[in-house]
Amino acid sequence: MIIVSGKATLKPGGLEKVQKEMETVIAATRAEQGCIDYSYGADVTEPDTILVLEYWESWDALHAHTTQPHMGVWMTKLGEVGVVSQSIRFIEAGEERNLMG
């Protein structure tokens, strides 16, 4: 499993400006083959910061995701509002366990 985890901080007011596009890209991505889960959230302590958490079946599925039309629209919108900083990691996970057993 491939895990994508991190955050991106937008220019002031940016999070509100991308809300609709966030909802659209989440719905479209969750329908992609190889997507286990895909979510964005707002950091409650850092204004205009998007938290990213994705789970993919494989590197190939993640790569295919980056070529989807909805990702092009999403990247364009992020460029319009302005990304101040980002820190996003791609992690290949091995063993998986549930927290409560």
> Which amino acid belongs to residue 9?
T
Identify whether 100 is part of a domain.
Answer: no
Identify whether 99 is part of a domain.
Answer: no
Q: With pLDDT > 70 as the criterion, what percentage of the chain qualifies?
A: 99
CA dist 91 and 85 (Å) reads 20
Q: What is the pTM of this model?
A: 0.89
Identify whether 15 is part of a domain.
Answer: yes
pLDDT under 50: residue ranges of the chain: none
Identify whether 56 is part of a domain.
Answer: yes
Total number of domains in the chain: 1
Identify whether 97 is part of a domain.
Answer: no
What is the domain-level CATH number for residue 51?
A: 3.30.70.100
Give 57-82 pLDDT, tens digit per residue: 999 999 999 999 999 999 999 999 99
